[in-house]
Amino acid sequence: MTQDTSNTVNSWTIEKDDNNIAWLHFNAANVSANLLSQAAIRELDDILITFEKQPPQALVILSDKKDSFIFGADIKEFTALETRQQALDFLHNGHALMNRLAALPCPTVSMVHGACLGGGTELSLACDYIVASDDRKTKIGLPEIKLGIFPGYGGTARSIERCGPLAAMNAMLTGSALPARIAKKILLIDEMVPLRQLKSAAENYALTAPKRKKLPLLARLVNVAILRPLVASQMRRQVASKAKAEHYPAPYALIELWVKHGGNRKQMLEHEALTVAKLATSETAKNLVRVFFLQENLKSQGKQIDFNVEHVHVIGGGIMGGDIASWCAIQGYSVSVQDQDPARLAQTIKRAQYSFKKKFKRDRRAIRDANDRLLADHRGAGLHRADIVIEAIFEDVTVKRALYESIEPKMKPGAILATNTSSIKLEDLSSSLKNPGRLVGLHFFNPVALMPLVEIIRGNETDEKVVQQALAFGKNIGKLPLAVKSSPGFLVNRILMPYILEAVTMAGEGIPPEVIDKAATDYGMPMGPIELADTVGLDICKNVANILSGALNIPLPDNLKQLSDSKLGKKTGEGFYRYKNKKPIKNKSAGYPNADEVQHRLVLRLLNEAAACLREGIVDNQDLIDAGVIFGTGFAPFRGGPMEYIKSEGADKLCQTLDTLKSRFGERFTKDAGWAMIE
């Protein structure tokens, strides 16, 4: 193996105190966050070898980074692993380190403050004790499952030993980052203390080395060989409700590993490495890692420029406007939300309480502070102070233009005006402004709190600086910003619409909606297109489809032309499905002989439109199409995005299917010239 230069940089420093406690500081050079890279592992391993010969009184591992511990392994190194053997070597380096740490004769303590994830947690698990701060920034977890693998540095065996199989498997299968309070509850950590006492607590464990609490009997019982298959089948059922085995093999493999080897640490560690090596080199993991980097890529789009926003003013207290406002308040911004109607603002504030409680749980002060930052402002007092004004009123060109004319004179010089329009061309709006360059699109998706993507729409006249500011704002409010050319439907709705309309057309042909939706979820979509249309509202679908069908030459299906007011989807209790307690009533026995064709019709319309977007340069490059579609629609992440899917399946093969569909169903399946541009 070649030695890279980072190996020569010291990430770890040892500080010995009067009690001969070795305080092992982790401070990866030149980066803001600690990653347990192979270089960091080697360096730490060398240190531990000297400790093996000459052990200190105790060892405490801590981070010198502000408000973070260790974010996990360096995922970049992952992408270089091509063969299973390479992956296995990679994992064995980690195993060797963790085993050495666990076997040290002196007490070892992990002192956690801030994010402690993946490899960071595994390193902590190899210590005798883990103490953590109760700070809100402290999050401890094993999120590997999100990348299509599971903990591979001994974390499976050690977390189960520490927390018992139920809690540990749950943590690994969900991959959630636990606040210290929950981590303490499941015995993942030994003690939670205020940050000011964290060092004292670590020192106390180091010097007194108390006996660890034994796991409760029940937790130990579940690990008995004859009970494991029983418990595992329950786990599989829970996982199956979230992820299909053929799409996401990792959780099933993890359960399998535990069932087979749960009672024996040595075997479990051995097979952990074997299985993770296999998973890590699979297509699924590679695609999920790719999605991770696409996410980083979007975040970095907002880093080109500093945009210091002191106040946000949102105009329009409807669901979108209100949710954008409360989201910004949650993110720490001072926000005013303007609407002429105090009654609507009252509902906005009420809705905000749900968001605040969801985010801050029972933290009364955090909720109060968010409320204090969010002002229901029916007179528009906040307009003139805002650095960014977000317009989220109903979709009407005339009304929007009139609004812009009236607010522009009151806006702060240099403040940007962002519209949340999803269907009106920016150029039609910006001409009402004295300074059209300040108008940019900021297209949020509903529900705002859950959808990570924000499309930043670059109009023909939008100043480049304003686009950069909007991207920065998108990143600063914790969203993934994507710069998109101003064109009908932008990126996400445009790609989604032919797919939904094809589904609606098929429903019109008499294919049961259950079959159509299943074809989509089998492909890996989070929700079927028919259910999605019902959820969005058929009237809204029709509206967007109308706008797009003109511009993009997509015919509107007949069954969307005539809508009954009582059958507009979920909100009226009936659409394509009937709804009971806000859940669709699905006919489980619905069948259709040619389900494959249904899936092809859906997917190829989507892929064909994605190719068209590439050709038109709607976003800057091919990767960004994948990013937009995944984070904007939930498009099967394990497939890596539409472009990545086309590459892995082969464009030629897919185009053949497209031609077949064209001959059967007509012009809408005509191959777009953009297919030739896919690299």
Spatial contact of 315 and 321, defined as CB atoms under 8 Å apart: yes
Residue 283 phi/psi, 5-degree rounding, is -60, -40
The C-alpha atoms of residue 521 and residue 529 are separated, in whole angstroms, by 9
The residue (of 181 and 368) whose beta carbon lies closer to other proteins is: 368
Checking DSSP bridges between strand 439-444 and strand 453-458, what pairing results, if any? antiparallel
Q: Which of 375, 472, 504, 629 lies at the binding interface for other proteins (CB under 8 A)? A: 375
Q: Report the alpha-carbon angle 226-228-233, nearest 5.
A: 120
Asked if 358 touches other proteins (CB under 8 A), the answer is: no
Q: Which stretch binds other proteins (CB under 8 A): 53-61, 140-148, 380-388, 592-600?
A: 380-388
Q: Which stretch binds other proteins (CB under 8 A): 17-25, 80-88, 124-132, 374-382?
A: 374-382
In terms of CB distance, is 11 or 355 closer to other proteins? 355
Q: Which of 487, 493, 549, 608 is catalytic?
A: 493
Q: What is the dihedral of CA 416, 417, 419, 425, to 10 degrees?
A: -100
What three-state secondary structure class fits 64?
Answer: coil
Q: Which residue has the tokens 């883990």?
A: 130
Active site residue 493: yes
Which CB sits closer to other proteins, 369 or 539? 369
Structure tokens at 232: 């595992």
Q: Please, what is the minimum distance in Å from the beta carbon of residue 375 to other proteins?
A: 5
Does residue 101 bind other proteins (CB under 8 A)? no
347 part of the interface to other proteins, by CB under 8 A = yes
**Selected catalytic residue, list 443, 549, 600, 644:** 443
Give bridge partners of residue 36 from the DSSP assignment: 73
Tell whether residue 281 is a contact of other proteins (CB under 8 A). no
455 labelled catalytic: yes
H/E stretch holding 156: helix 155-174
Helix (H) or strand (E) segment spanning residue 304: none
One-letter-per-residue 3-state SS of 240-284: HCCCCCCCCHHHHHHHHHHHHHCCCHHHHHHHHHHHHHHHHCCHH
Specify the stretch interacting with other proteins by CB under 8 A; choose among 101-109, 381-389, 427-435, 613-621: 381-389
Q: Taking contact as CB under 8 A, which single stretch among the options 73-81, 379-387, 495-503, 547-555 is the one that binds other proteins?
A: 379-387
User: Does position 509 bind other proteins by CB under 8 A?
Assistant: no
Which CB atom, from 135 or from 369, has the smaller least distance to other proteins?
369
The single-letter code of the amino acid at 241 is: S
Strands 583-584 and 178-179: unpaired
Nearer to other proteins, 230 or 346 (CB): 346
Exposed / middle / buried, residue 551 (Cβ in 10 Å: 0-12, 13-18, 19+): middle
Give the Cα separation of 265 and 253 in Å (integer).
Answer: 17
Q: Does residue 378 bind other proteins (CB under 8 A)? A: yes
Size of the site for other proteins (CB under 8 A): 25
Q: Which is nearer to other proteins, 379 or 580 (CB)?
A: 379
Name the residue nearer to other proteins (CB basis): 110 or 476: 476
345 part of the interface to other proteins, by CB under 8 A: yes
Identify the residue among 287, 301, 336, 633 touching other proteins (CB under 8 A): 336
Q: Is 377 in the site for other proteins (CB under 8 A)?
A: yes
Q: Does 363 bind other proteins (CB under 8 A)?
A: no
Which runs of consecutive H residues, i.e. helices, occur in 361-463? 364-373, 397-407, 426-430
- Burial (Cβ within 10 Å: 0-12, 13-18, ≥19) of residue 404: buried
Decide whether 88 or 324 has the Cβ nearer to other proteins: 324
Residue closer to other proteins (CB basis): 45 or 369: 369
92 catalytic? Reply is: no
Question: Which one of residues 346, 399, 673, 677 is an interface residue with other proteins (CB under 8 A)?
Answer: 346
Q: Among 40, 32, 45, which Cα is nearest to 9's?
A: 40
Give me the residues paired with residue 129 across strands. 109
Does 361 engage in binding with other proteins (CB under 8 A)? no
Residues with Cβ < 8 Å from 383, sequence gap 6 or more? 313, 315, 336, 338, 389, 407, 410, 411
Residue (266 or 379) nearer to other proteins, CB = 379
Give ∠ CA 328-330-331 in degrees, rounded to 5.
65
**Considering beta carbons, is residue 368 or 561 the nearer one to other proteins?**
368
Distance CA 4, CA 551 (A): 53
Minimum CB separation from other proteins for residue 338, in Å? 11
**601 is an interface residue for other proteins by CB under 8 A:** no
Among the listed residues 122, 455, 531, 574, the single catalytic one is 455
Looking at residue 10, the DSSP 8-state letter turns out to be -
Tokens of 165: 């199989």
Part in contact with other proteins (CB under 8 A); list of ranges 335-343, 577-585, 600-608, 665-673:
335-343
Among 350, 358, 561, 664, binds other proteins (CB under 8 A): 350
Task: Categorise residue 582: left if φ over 0, alpha if ψ from -120 to 50, beta otherwise.
Answer: left
Shortest gap between Cβ of 94 and other proteins (angstroms)?
Answer: 46
Give Cβ neighbours of residue 284 (< 8 Å, ≥ 6 apart).
148, 247, 248, 249, 250, 638
Minimum CB–partner distance for residue 371 and other proteins (Å):
7
Told to check if 381 binds other proteins by CB under 8 A, we report yes
Q: Among the candidate windows 199-207, 224-232, 289-297, 341-349, which touches other proteins by CB under 8 A?
A: 341-349
Distance of CA 246 to the CA centre of its chain: 21
**422 is known as an active-site residue:** yes
Q: Would you count residue 385 as binding other proteins (CB under 8 A)?
A: yes
Residue 359 found at the interface with other proteins (CB under 8 A): no
Q: What value does the CA radius of gyration of the chain take, rounded to a whole number of Å? A: 27
The answer to whether the beta carbons of residues 394 and 406 sit under 8 Å apart is no
Given the rule CB under 8 A, which of 55-63, 262-270, 340-348, 436-444 is the region that contacts other proteins?
340-348
Query: Nearest distance from residue 369's CB to other proteins, in Å?
Result: 7
Residue 360: name the closest of 390, 385, 332 by CA: 332
Within residues 288-327, the interface with other proteins by CB under 8 A covers 311
Question: Out of 50, 264, 340, 353, which residue is the one contacting other proteins (CB under 8 A)?
Answer: 353
**Binding status of residue 410 toward other proteins by CB under 8 A:** no
Return the number of other C-beta atoms located less than 10 Å from residue 337's C-beta: 32
The set of residues, in sequence order, having a beta carbon less than 8 Å from that of 299 and lying 6+ positions away, is 475, 480
Binding segment (CB under 8 A) for other proteins, from list 156-164, 214-222, 375-383, 560-568: 375-383
Among 63, 138, 326, 334, binds other proteins (CB under 8 A): 334
CA 635 to chain CA centroid, Å, is 12
**At 511, is the secondary structure helix, strand, or coil?**
coil
Only one of the segments 11-19, 376-384, 566-574, 620-628 lies at the binding site for other proteins (rule: CB under 8 A); that segment is: 376-384
425 to 444: interface string for other proteins, x by CB under 8 A: --------------------
Contacts with other proteins by CB under 8 A lie at 311, 334, 336, 342-343, 345-347, 349-350, 353, 368-369, 371-373, 375-379, 381-382, 384-385
Q: Which residues are known catalytic residues?
A: 422, 443, 455, 493
